[in-house]
Amino acid sequence: MVNATAADWHQAPYIVDSFFEIALKNEYSGTGHLVRKWPNTGIRYHYVHRVLDNHLHEELTELHLRHLQMITGLPIKPAKSIKEANLIIVFSQENNLKDDLQHFFNMKSGKELEQFFRSSICLGHFTTLTNGSIQKAVVIIPVDRARKHAKLVDCIVEELTQVLGLPNDSDKVFPSIFNDHSIDHLLSGLDYILLKILYDQRLQTGMTKTAALPVVQMITKDLIKRGTVDSADKVVQSGGLYDLTN
């Protein structure tokens, strides 16, 4: 990785390295993944509420989902029922977390379940076909745990963004919601660019890093040439949950 500060992440090599760090790695499963993204048919989401404040949680979530739709061009709409949903968003609580992990993540009790339960404030997981196409995702936010750490909004932003196909966390990528030591609570300009790269039609689902590298370099070059990188911070701060702070 090319080292960068908040002022110089605009460099093409840093953007390209950041994309592969976040898109082709996983926090729990190492390297070697393909490009993963949702098909053009998009996302149909459904809520499961186990705590109060349903309206607040849905309002915050939908502001961010509309933001993601604007950035990626991916259709993101509510499902008519849980059976029709391919994204399930669970607002839970600490006491229900193990049961939710077992039910929604199909985890059995044991080391894997304990790792998720102990090490994460909130959780997101998606499943893909062998070609890298994302088919279903679940986000679980234990609200009491998130509020205890003042991370409710952070959880909504990070987990819903990660299940679009950017699943890794890394201290190498800054400024970014994917960096646990970053000060960013909402999407950064760099996050905006990573989403634009992922959902550019030239980048195909299932590409290996070798196949994707020249494509990502080309897309990055175009984004820099068009001024999209230079304006990314301003543009990303003009929508979504930023509307509550402006």
Distance of CA 219 to the CA centre of its chain: 20
Average the pLDDT over 204-230 and give the result: 97
Phi, psi of 187 (to 5 degrees): -55, 135
Return the CATH superfamily for domain 38-164: Collagenase (Catalytic Domain) (3.40.390.10)
197 and 16 Cβ atoms separated by less than 8 Å: no
* Two tokens, residue 165: 């196909």
* Two tokens, residue 229: 């990188």
Calculate helix-pair angle for 189-198, 209-225, nearest 10 degrees: 120
194/191 Cα distance (integer angstroms): 5
Question: What is the structure's pLDDT at 9?
Answer: 94
Question: What is the structure's pLDDT at 71?
Answer: 98
Domain boundaries, the chain: 8-36+166-246, 38-164
**Cross-strand pairs, 37:** 133
Average the pLDDT over 124-153 and give the result: 95
159/178 Cα distance (integer angstroms): 10
88 and 138 Cβ atoms separated by less than 8 Å: yes
Question: What is the structure's pLDDT at 237?
Answer: 96
Question: What is the structure's pLDDT at 102?
Answer: 83
Question: pLDDT above 70 covers what percent of the chain?
Answer: 89
Average the pLDDT over 192-205 and give the result: 98
- What's the whole-model pTM score? 0.93
205 and 133 Cβ atoms separated by less than 8 Å: yes
pLDDT at 112 over 90: no
Question: What is the structure's pLDDT at 13?
Answer: 96
Average pLDDT of every residue of the chain:
91
Three-state secondary structure call for residue 5: coil
Which regions of the chain does DSSP assign to beta strands (E)?
Answer: 43-49, 76-78, 87-92, 123-128, 134-142
122 and 93 Cβ atoms separated by less than 8 Å: no
114/151 Cα distance (integer angstroms): 21
Average the pLDDT over 205-234 and give the result: 97
Distance of CA 164 to the CA centre of its chain: 5
Q: Which of 89, 152, 167, 87 is CA-nearest to residue 121?
A: 152
Q: Sheet containing 76-78: which strands, arranged edge to edge?
A: 76-78, 43-49, 87-92, 134-142, 123-128
pLDDT bracket for residue 109 (50, 70, 90): low
**Tens of pLDDT along 40-88?**
999 999 999 999 999 999 999 999 999 999 999 999 999 999 999 999 9
Question: What is the structure's pLDDT at 116?
Answer: 64
pLDDT at 2 over 90: no
pLDDT bracket for residue 183 (50, 70, 90): confident
Q: What is the DSSP letter of 105?
A: S
Question: What is the structure's pLDDT at 155?
Answer: 96
pLDDT at 246 over 80: no
Question: What is the structure's pLDDT at 108?
Answer: 59
Q: What is the DSSP letter of 37?
A: B
Average the pLDDT over 122-128 and give the result: 92
